[in-house]
């Protein structure tokens, strides 16, 4: 309907009324059209950031209201593994890939018994998945697990805002749609910094673990025979990391996050593993204090939060990253082998490598001073794995560097049997380039001094069968 104006230039009341009636009629038709699609009837939802940035969309999970640190994951697949990764405790996760849920949910791929994230943000949610392994749709899973989710927003704009202005607290609601009310709530929400979230997702008692998902047997060979008794600290461990250890021959005993080192040593393990987990590493005091007691007595391997535990046990300092590393496309150089890995990552804090000690020039290409800007790509450009002298554990080598921002991705204690990486080598979700790190841990337990110097191109294919008779 065309609007008509009076002689004074104002739209007449009759025209406004008629236009409103026409708009209401059109809205009714739109609602009927949507109701006839897989989207069905939609309920409004709001995502509000602590700086006042607001995104309006539609609920696509359980109803409710949650607060948490807003972050984003750049993986093209693996949304179920992301949603069930305990490392996302306390966070609202944004998926950058535009459509999420199109291959549904297979419960064998979950990484924990219960999702720990606070909420989920997507551009478009698929309610009609197509995959032979799927047992339910993602919205059904979200509703079953009581996870609040929103769709229909411009995730590109949201991610750019986070990149520009950094991580911050946000509120996601399907119940309260008043911006002023939501702003008060998000202002009162707790920060991720200073909170020990590892204790909220760790198991409560010691358990053995030997699970290998049967539905993955079409692609992955049976585990190697058990050779090593490994005690794994559960700080919020992804189940697939434990599976990765089982596949290379580890007989696993999994213990709570704060288990005393004396109790672990009494089990007489061949090695100790420190797992991934959520939150601020500085707050997980009990774990890194145990790590300090274990290093030098038994081979130790740490992943993600486990890397940070070894770093803190060594007297290192942590920094809060502007927006963290989350996704399956993070390039990392192994300074020992010179090879580059595309890695899966999920962390918001990182080690300040110079805080471990002063450089040893004769082991660092003649360089005596750390770079002023802290960018560790200085070493990747020169193909040098620098070594510092640490007051607690002797020589520590920088082994891995993030090629996107020059942050530390791995260290090796040269005078102790210990090493760690900041990323997730089991590739759930993500590429398999870093699978060799499980092999490296076995080589460390075997006493191989050059355990990190592995051809990743060969190792990443080990154990894959893809439908062969052996599967």
| CA distance from start to end of the chain | 66
Domains and CATH numbers, the chain: 44-188 (3.50.30.20), 198-459 (3.40.50.880)
H/E stretch holding 44 reads strand 44-49
Question: 408 an active-site residue?
Answer: no
Contact 115, 84 (CB under 8 A): yes
Question: 442 an active-site residue?
Answer: no
Q: Which of 307, 400, 424, 435 is catalytic?
A: 424
In the annotated binding site for L-glutamine, the residues are: 87, 277, 279, 305, 308, 346, 348-349
H/E stretch holding 71 reads strand 65-73
CA distance 194 to 463: 40
Return all residues near 427 (Cβ < 8 A) that are at least 6 apart.
240, 328, 344, 433, 434, 435
C-alpha distances out from residue 53 to 56, 171, 338, Å: 10, 11, 43
CA distance 48 to 46: 6
Question: 426 an active-site residue?
Answer: yes
Q: How many CB atoms lie within 10 A of CB 9?
A: 6
Q: Which of 304, 307, 341, 370 is catalytic?
A: 304
CA distance 85 to 197: 13
CA distance 47 to 442: 46
The pLDDT tens digits along the chain (471 residues) read: 334 333 344 444 455 445 555 655 555 776 777 777 777 778 999 999 999 999 999 999 999 999 999 999 999 999 999 999 999 999 999 999 999 999 999 999 999 999 999 999 999 999 999 999 999 999 999 999 999 999 999 999 999 999 999 999 999 999 999 999 999 999 999 998 999 999 999 999 999 999 888 777 777 878 899 999 999 999 999 999 999 999 999 999 999 999 999 999 999 999 999 999 999 999 999 999 999 999 999 999 999 999 999 999 999 999 999 999 999 999 999 999 999 999 999 999 999 999 999 999 999 999 999 999 999 999 999 999 999 999 999 999 999 999 999 999 999 999 999 999 999 998 788 788 888 999 999 999 999 999 998 888 778 777 777 645 443
Contact 104, 138 (CB under 8 A): yes
CA distance 363 to 387: 6
**Coil vs helix vs strand at 215:** helix
Strand partners, 464: 220
Q: Which of 60, 426, 435, 442 is catalytic?
A: 426
């Amino acid at each position: 309907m065309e609007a008509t104006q009076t002689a004074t230039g104002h739209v007449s009341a009759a025209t406004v009324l008629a236009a409103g009636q026409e708009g209401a009629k059109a809205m009714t038709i739109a609602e009927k059209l949507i109701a006839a699609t897989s989207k069905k009837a939609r309920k409004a939802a709001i995502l509000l950031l602590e700086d006042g940035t607001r995104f309006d969309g539609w609920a696509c999970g359980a109803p409710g209201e949650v607060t948490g640190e807003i972050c984003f994951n750049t993986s093209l697949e693996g949304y179920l593994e992301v949603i069930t990764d305990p490392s996302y405790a306390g966070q609202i996760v944004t998926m950058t890939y535009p459509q999420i849920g199109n291959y549904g949910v297979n419960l064998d791929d979950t990484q924990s018994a219960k999702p720990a994230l606070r909420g989920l943000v997507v551009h478009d949610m698929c309610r009609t998945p197509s995959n032979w392994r799927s047992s339910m749709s993602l919205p059904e899973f979200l509703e079953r697990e009581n996870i609040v989710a929103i769709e229909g927003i411009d995730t590109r704009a949201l991610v750019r805002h986070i990149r520009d202005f950094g991580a911050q607290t946000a509120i996601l609601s399907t119940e309260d749609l008043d911006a002023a009310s939501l702003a008060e709530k998000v202002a009162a929400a707790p920060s991720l910094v200073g909170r020990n979230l590892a204790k909220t997702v760790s198991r409560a008692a010691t358990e053995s673990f030997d699970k290998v998902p049967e539905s993955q047997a079409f692609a992955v060979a049976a585990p190697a025979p058990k050779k090593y008794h490994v005690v794994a600290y559960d700080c919020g461990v992804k189940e697939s990391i434990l599976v990765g250890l089982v596949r290379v021959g580890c007989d696993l005993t999994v213990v709570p996050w704060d288990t005393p080192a004396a109790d672990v040593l009494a089990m007489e393990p061949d090695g100790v593993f420190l797992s991934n987990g959520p939150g601020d590493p500085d707050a997980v005091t009990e774990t890194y204090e145990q790590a300090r007691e274990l290093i030098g007595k038994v081979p130790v391997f740490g992943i993600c939060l486990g890397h940070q535990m070894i770093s803190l046990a060594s007297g290192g300092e942590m920094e809060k990253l502007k927006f963290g590393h989350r996704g399956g496309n993070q390039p990392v150089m192994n300074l020992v082998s010179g090879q580059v890995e595309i890695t899966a990552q999920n962390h918001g804090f990182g080690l300040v490598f110079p805080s471990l000690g002063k450089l040893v020039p004769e082991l660092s290409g003649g360089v005596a001073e750390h770079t002023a800007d802290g960018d560790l790509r200085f070493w990747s450009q020169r193909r040098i794995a620098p070594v510092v002298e640490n007051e607690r554990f002797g020589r520590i080598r920088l082994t891995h560097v993030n090629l996107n921002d020059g942050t530390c991705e791995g260290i090796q204690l040269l005078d102790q049997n210990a090493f760690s990486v900041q990323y997730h080598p089991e590739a759930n979700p993500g590429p398999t380039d870093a699978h060799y790190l499980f092999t490296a841990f076995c080589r460390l337990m075997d006493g191989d001094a050059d355990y990190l110097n592995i051809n990743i191109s060969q190792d990443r294919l080990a154990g894959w069968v893809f439908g062969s008779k052996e599967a």
